[in-house]
Amino acid sequence: MRILLVSDLHYTLPQLDWVVRVAPEHDLVVLAGDHLDANSAVSLDAQSLVLLRYFSLMKPRTALVLASGNHDLTGADANGERASLWLPQCRREGVATDGDGLVVGDTLVTVCPWWDGPAGRAALEAQLAADAKRRPARWIWVYHWPPMNSPTCWTGKRFYGDADLAGWIDTFRPDMVLAGHVHQAPFKEAGHWADRIGGKTWVFNAGRLIGPVPPHIVIDLAAGTATWRSLMGEETLSLSADKAPARTVF
């Protein structure tokens, strides 16, 4: 299975066009949050309509997975916490999104929402605990924010990660976490697009740059590799490695 990971497109239409073009080359396409751009002059309602159309055009060989990020929150849910109220509409196109658990072959993909309060946090923790009981050979989480103290959340000045995620990784030990949120991490010295935690869990964050082609990661499970591509070039690691390789680009 070939997985394409992209995150933080922030309503960048040329980059969305690129994903539409390359999606058929992959079995699973993962957009790990921040589809909308809260700072855009275009209203969030208008952005969401355009994005839902883009999502309907993305046709990977097997499945498309969309998790929410902090920019995707558009209103209050039943608990009064901010949530991505528009994203569930993509299920009409057969897309997996927040709260879903998608089984692809021997892999379970748990799609984690961006939570904004205690009720959302509790619901996500319950989702992870439930999926842990049915995990097959491989378990992948899609979670917008990388874990704390990982080079995948290094901004160049500080670690900007999710402390709750670090604890859940330690408890449940998924095989991979596909993340984003910290745009700078792969492009800063001491940062990285990959990290291995506890000798078990790979964390990936492709980062964000402007331009027609977004930074992205292709995970080839059959070949046992992950390849990061950006304007800085291309780097590949072996999924069987004990840790991410040292980088020489800096």
- CA–CA separation, 33 vs 6, rounded Å? 9
* Angle, alpha carbons 120-30-32 (nearest 5°): 40
Backbone torsion region of residue 60, taken as left when φ is above 0, otherwise alpha when ψ lies between -120 and 50, otherwise beta: beta
For residue range 192-202, list pLDDT tens digits in order.
999 999 999 99
Element (H, E) at 6: strand 2-6
CB 54 within 8 A of CB 16: yes
In 54-74, which positions are buried (b, 16+ CB within 10 angstroms) versus exposed (e)?
bbeebebeebbbbbbbbbbbb
Instruction: Quote the pLDDT of residue 250.
Output: 59
For residue range 11-68, list pLDDT tens digits in order.
999 999 999 999 999 999 999 999 999 999 999 999 999 999 999 999 999 999 999 9
Gap between the terminal Cα atoms of the chain: 32
Domains of the chain, each with CATH number or no CATH: 2-238 (3.60.21.10)
pLDDT bin (cut points 50, 70, 90) of residue 92 is confident
pLDDT bin (cut points 50, 70, 90) of residue 249 is low
CB 237 within 8 A of CB 243: no
For residue range 219-231, list pLDDT tens digits in order.
999 999 999 999 9
Counts for the chain of helices (H) and strands (E), in that order: 4, 14
For residue range 96-122, list pLDDT tens digits in order.
999 999 999 999 999 999 999 999 999
- Residue 143 pLDDT greater than 80, yes or no: yes
pLDDT bin (cut points 50, 70, 90) of residue 248 is confident
pLDDT bin (cut points 50, 70, 90) of residue 93 is confident
